[in-house]
Structure 1
Amino acid sequence: MKNQKVALVTGAGQGIGLEIARRLLETGSHVILNDLQQSLTEEAVASLSLLGKGTIIGCSGDSASEEVISELIDLAMHQFGRIDQVVANAGITLFGNFLDYSREDFMEVTRVNQAGTFFLTQAAARIMTSQPNGGSILLTSSVTAHQSHENLAAYAMSKAAIEMLAKNLVIELAPFGVRINTIAPGATVTERTTADPNYVNTWSKLTPLGHPANTVDIAEAALFLLSDAARHITGQTLIVDGGWTSISPSPYA
């Protein structure tokens, strides 16, 4: 345990977050895995435990809440005494036409995506800045922070804010050896997206590389930014979208 890193990953019960947690375990980190749904948290922990690598601990709950953030930090410190890697992956998407979008939906997107990311990052950074080796933080954005997408004004706004947070925090965190970057996935095949039977076919036509990403594609990029191989990279956003933002055809066209 002494030479292994300690990671926190939110929104990791399935999809991209789960694959990032898997890759962190495979590359030698202990992982504290969070998801809003207890059942998904428990299933993910059970699945990842079969890898036989590192330690995987589940902590379910709303990662945007002050109580769950404190629980995650306390759990890491109690179990391992430090935090080396944080992936603020939890987020929600509430579609809606701008002219009809409700205040309730806007505030929920903002609470989870912006405030949740901000305060988890703050709590983790307070630990990392006191550690000799600092740490690495990764925030999850979206291609919608770079190109317009119909019915996602609030979501896109929240993701663009997350990217600016990473850029701005370079000023305050770099002196302590804490790096912070953002990953912006494009169309990705997950349990949620494949609920649309046309998803893969549609995005295969829209993506220059000929197919949407899978969760491994995103996780590999995430692992690079979290790793020591990216030791001189901070304040950056890495778009992983098969080239979509270069041409940006709309799925509604």
Structure 2
Amino acid sequence: MNEALREHRPERVIHLAAQAGVRYSLENPHAYVESNVVAFTNILEACRHHKVEHLTYASTSSVYGANTRMPFSEPESVNHPLQFYAATKKANELMAHSYSHLFRLPTTGLRFFTVYGPWGRPDMALFLFTKRTLAGEPIPVFNHGNHTRDFTYVDDIVEGVIRASDDIAAPNPEWNSDTPDPATSNAPYRIFNIGNNNPVKLSAYIEAIEDALGKQAIKELLPLQLGDVPDTYADSTKLEHAVGYKPATPFKEGVANFVAWYRDYYDV
């Protein structure tokens, strides 16, 4: 990291790399410490020493954990994560604040809500369901398809990330230590939700995949999995007010775009 920043002298850094995924964190928590805690420390140190103007990084909606008040909004407490993955991403937010406070490094954390689209991760539902449905294999449908997720299309995420990076974080002049807002600070630090503002039931998401494929899925209905939350729903109004972010892709259109990409890429 130090060599890269020393050579290229970037004004902004956008950090999206991580060990992601809820379920794998149950099996290999050490991978999450190495990628999400140690590596993020390396990012912060490099940004500090090379005078980066603004660090924008990916957090996750998973930090809301046991919260049930919908929609999720940034001033709410996120002190009850339900998986180790979420705990490491919450740690990133806290680590970023300490560097914003100590070294005046402007930082913006973006809590991603279920990103999907072309080139998506193979372990995510859209990729897995598409692959198995085309192969005639059953798909695992946890919580009997009653999950709701604020599925956010990748193009909308990219737009929000770029807009946030271009708008350098600054101290909140109204921040009050007697009633502290956890999403802002008197340091150049802030946290935003970045979501679609439109939760969709998993069963409806699967129907969109079936429609795009022209093929019915074989559904293996399963109970809620350990570490999963039943619902997510982003209140992204703060990001909209700050940088004009407004998601524009309906989930059926986004799913169809992914299926078209998948068929072309894998020639199926």
Give the TM-score normalised by the residue count of structure 2.
0.50
Where structure 1 has 5 or more consecutive residues not aligned to the other structure, the ranges are: 1-68, 77-81, 129-133
TM-superposed CA distance for 1:92, in Å, is 1.1
CA–CA distance in 1 between the matches of 2:4 and 2:46?
10
Q: Deviations over 1:198-224 (max 9, x none)?
A: 79x9999724xxx62111211222222
CA–CA distance in 2 between the matches of 1:181 and 1:187?
19
- Cα RMSD after superposing both structures: 3.6
| 1:14-25 matched pairs, under 5 angstroms | none
Contact kept, 8 Å, 1:212 with 1:242, in 2: the verdict is yes
User: In the alignment, which of 123, 127, 140 is matched to residue 58 of structure 2?
Assistant: 140
CA–CA distance in 2 between the matches of 1:106 and 1:160?
15
* SS state at 1:141 partner: strand
TM-superposed CA distance for 1:225, in Å, is 2.0
Give the TM-score normalised by the residue count of structure 1.
0.53
CA–CA distance in 2 between the matches of 1:185 and 1:74?
29
| 1:94-109 matched pairs, under 5 angstroms | 94-96=21-23, 101-102=26-27, 105-109=28-32
CA–CA distance in 2 between the matches of 1:160 and 1:221?
20
Contact kept, 8 Å, 1:142 with 1:186, in 2: the verdict is yes
Contact kept, 8 Å, 2:108 with 2:169, in 1: the verdict is no
User: In the alignment, which of 87, 110, 119 is matched to residue 33 of structure 2?
Assistant: 110
Select the structure that is richer in helix.
Answer: 1
Contact kept, 8 Å, 1:224 with 1:230, in 2: the verdict is no
Q: For the structure 1 residues 70 and 230, does the alpha-carbon distance in structure 2 shift closer, same or farther, using more than 3 Å as the test?
A: closer
Aligned to 1:93: 20
CA–CA distance in 2 between the matches of 1:127 and 1:243?
37
Aligned to 1:241: 195
TM-superposed CA distance for 1:136, in Å, is 0.6
Aligned to 1:20: none
Higher relative contact order (CA 8 A, sep 6+): 2
CA–CA distance in 1 between the matches of 2:13 and 2:53?
8
Aligned to 1:195: 127
User: In the alignment, which of 127, 148, 159 is matched to residue 206 of structure 1?
Assistant: 148
Contact kept, 8 Å, 1:95 with 1:152, in 2: the verdict is no
